[in-house]
Amino acid sequence: MTAMVTVDDALTRYEPVIGLEVHVELGTVSKMFCGCPTTFGGEPNTQVCPVCLGLPGSLPVVNRAAIESTIRMGLALNCDIAEWCRFARKNYFYPDMPKDYQISQYDEPLCTDGYLDVTVPLADGGSEVVRVGIERVHMEEDTGKLTHTGGATGRIHGADYSLVDYNRAGIPLVEIVTKPVTGTGGLAPAVARAYVAALRDIMRSLGVSDVRMEEGSLRCDANVSLAPPGQPWGTRTETKNVNSLRSVERAVTFEIRRQAGVLDAGGHIVQETRHFHEDDGTTTPGRSKEEAEDYRYFPEPDLLPVAPDPAWVDELRTTLPELPAARRARLQEQWGISDFDMDSLINAGAVELVEATVAAGADQGAARKWWMGELSRAAKDRGVELAELGVTPADVARIADLVGQGTLNDKLARLVFEGVAAGEGSPDEVVAARGLELVSDDTALLAALDDAIAANEDAVAKIRDGKVQAAGAIIGAVMKATRGQADAARVRELLLERLGE
């Protein structure tokens, strides 16, 4: 294998061009072409009917909600909505595809030629807005799920046979394809990540998909090519199934480094699909393409053209919510925070979380403090997104409230977060179960204080001499005796009262 080079080194000689194809499962109640439920996690092959099983004789009928969701996606991405378009059949044999063709859209997508402005975090803590062109947004159907059995690894390679569950087959997918993104230089991996994050946020705010990446409801293919500045674009590779924000960034980074190494050594890039490996962040070649794919697309004869009435499109336009970029500007104004603080929130993926926490009753300062501090650290430690930590904005609001009331101090609050994230229940349940409430009963405190005074005669003498800083030793002893659940300020008050008697 050719030596890898660093990204910074690669960028001194090559300009990357990236392109992203994102598939998202729409959150409709029923599948794209039949009435089967789309819920995740059902018993295998219990959410199937003649249509999504592709039984002989069955016919598809288009789900109106899927069309509406796609048009709304297209509008949110500033696309043109086709006045007339058709579905097409993409023909290829594979056992996860019940009909051995996929109903998709080919040369007549529903939405075309849009863009999305993406805020990309910079290393200095600031940010830059990059406009990513949208080539097309189209509809298609998902495939079934294969499980590989036998062999050592449970992977496709070396398996004895495979098992197919068609519950996922026919779930509506929307595919969003970017135009080639050029001129971003070293930002390319970050642009890729920020774009996917922005798409995800838009989907969520439109309510067209809940985008559970951990359930595979958003899947990304990343195209990368390199060329010396001013030269025509190079040969690209397509890295398939990159399924988290972090992986998108890593996969693009890896391909830039790998391709630069190949080109430096005088080699040429093979046009191929590549697989991304989560464990080490590398990509490896997929199927060799000695025989070019021939999908034999043709207009799907079982479905009629889709010709959205302009009035319908206008009506859908009125249903668009405030999109993430606009909302962020409004929130920054509302909260009165600096560009730097806002960028930090955006980069951490915390804007919506803080907003929801404020909506749940917390002060914006407290909400930001917890999400950007304790919780960001915990997310980083576990390698997950903030939103995937298992702590909800309502939890944060409640804990902030408990701190405000004096029921918790910051140290105890951290333990409550830990308990909530570990699935021990609501903040109140964790406080009760772990016995984390501050001791506010003066009788109990005074008993501990008297013990401490008796045990620290030296310190008591110093305090009486006016060396008040010696109080720390006694307060510390009280805190220790109460396992940290005393309010230190109150202990200090009581100590001074006692000694002043």
CA–CA dist 363, 294 (Å, integer)? 58
- Fill in the amino acid letter for 219: R
**What would you report as the CA-atom Rg of the chain, rounded to the nearest whole angstrom?**
29
Identify the residue among 9, 13, 40, 53 touching another protein (CB under 8 A): 53
**Part of the chain binding another protein (CB under 8 A), chosen from 161-169, 197-205, 262-270, 479-487:** 161-169
Q: Which of 3, 6, 50, 319 binds another protein (CB under 8 A)?
A: 50
Residues 121-160 touching another protein, rule: CB under 8 A, are: 146-150, 156-157, 159-160
Residues 445 to 464 in contact with another protein, rule: CB under 8 A:
none
Between CA 203 and CA 214 the distance in angstroms is 16
Kindly state whether residue 489 participates in binding another protein, applying the rule CB under 8 A: no
Number of residues that bind another protein (CB under 8 A): 80
- Asked if residue 296 binds another protein (CB under 8 A), the reply is yes
> Please, which of residues 96-115 interact with another protein by CB under 8 A?
98-101
Beta-strand pair 127-141/111-121? antiparallel
Cα–Cα distance for residue pair 451/2, rounded to 1 Å: 71
271/286 Cα distance (integer angstroms): 11
**What contacts 24+ positions apart, CB below 8 Å, involve 160-165?**
162/95, 163/44, 164/95, 164/96, 165/44, 165/45
Q: Can you list the alpha helix ranges (DSSP code H) found in 100-173? A: none
The residue (of 98 and 419) whose beta carbon lies closer to another protein is 98
Of 58, 56, 55, 49, the residue nearest 30 (C-alpha): 49
Options 131, 298, 361, 447; binder of another protein; rule CB under 8 A: 298
Q: Are strands 101-104 and 88-91 parallel, antiparallel or unpaired?
A: antiparallel
Does the footprint of another protein cover residue 175 (CB under 8 A)? no
The binder of another protein chosen from 48, 202, 459, 495 (CB under 8 A): 48
CA 443 from chain center: how many Å? 50
User: Does residue 271 touch another protein according to CB under 8 A?
Assistant: no
Contact flag: residue 241 with another protein (CB under 8 A): no
- Give whichever of 48 and 192 is closer to another protein, judged by the CB atom: 48
Please state the closest distance from residue 271 (CB atom) to another protein, in A: 11
Distance between CA atoms of 346 and 211, rounded to whole angstroms? 18
Among 288, 405, 443, 469, binds another protein (CB under 8 A): 288
Name the burial class of residue 293, with classes exposed (0-12), middle (13-18) and buried (19+) by CB atoms within 10 angstroms of its CB.
exposed
Residue from 43, 280, 457, 501 in contact with another protein (CB under 8 A): 43
d(CA 88, CA 110): 12
Q: Which of residues 310-349 bind another protein (CB under 8 A)?
A: none
Assess 235 for contact with another protein (CB under 8 A). no
Nearer to another protein, 315 or 442 (CB): 315
Tokens representing 390 are: 């298992």
Smallest separation, CB 398 to another protein (Å): 36
For another protein, the closer CB: 21 or 128: 21
Cα separation, 435 vs 419, in Å, equals 12
Q: From the list 3, 59, 422, 461, which residue makes contact with another protein (rule: CB under 8 A)?
A: 59
Interacting span for another protein (CB under 8 A) from 17-25, 116-124, 202-210, 304-312: 304-312
Output the furthest CA–CA distance in the chain (Å, rounded). Answer: 98
- Asked whether the beta carbons of 190 and 120 are under 8 A apart, the reply is yes
Contact positions with another protein (CB under 8 A) in 18-37: 28-30, 34-37
Nearest to another protein of 167, 344 (CB atom) = 167
Q: Is 58 in the site for another protein (CB under 8 A)?
A: yes
Angle formed by the axes of helices 324-335 and 339-347, nearest 10°:
130
Q: Closest CB to another protein among 162 and 231?
A: 162
- Using the rule CB under 8 A, is 240 a contact of another protein? yes
Is residue 60 near another protein by the rule CB under 8 A? yes
Least spacing, CB of residue 235 vs another protein, in Å: 15
Find the binder of another protein among 16, 19, 54, 324 (CB under 8 A). Answer: 54
Q: Which two tokens stand for residue 494?
A: 């009581």
Which one of 3, 12, 80, 94 is in contact with another protein (CB under 8 A)? 94
Please name the helix (run of DSSP H) or strand (run of DSSP E) that holds residue 15, with its range, or none: strand 15-25
Q: Is 5 exposed, middle or buried (0-12, 13-18, 19+ CB in 10 A)?
A: buried
Min dist CB 51 to another protein, Å, is 8
Q: What gap in Å lies between CA 366 and CA 138, rounded to an integer? A: 42
Tell whether residue 64 is a contact of another protein (CB under 8 A). yes
Residues 6+ apart with CB under 8 A from 47: 36, 37, 38, 39, 167
Nearer Cβ to another protein, position 141 or 352?
A: 141
| Least Cβ distance, residue 101 to another protein (angstroms) | 5
359 binds another protein (CB under 8 A): no
* The residue to which tokens 């697989």 are assigned: 275
Task: Give the nearest distance from C-beta 302 to another protein in angstroms.
Answer: 5
Residue 140 vs 385, nearer CB to another protein: 140
> Which phi and psi angles does 23 have, rounded to 5°?
-105, 130
Q: Which is nearer to another protein, 210 or 418 (CB)?
A: 210
Residue with tokens 């200095």: 124
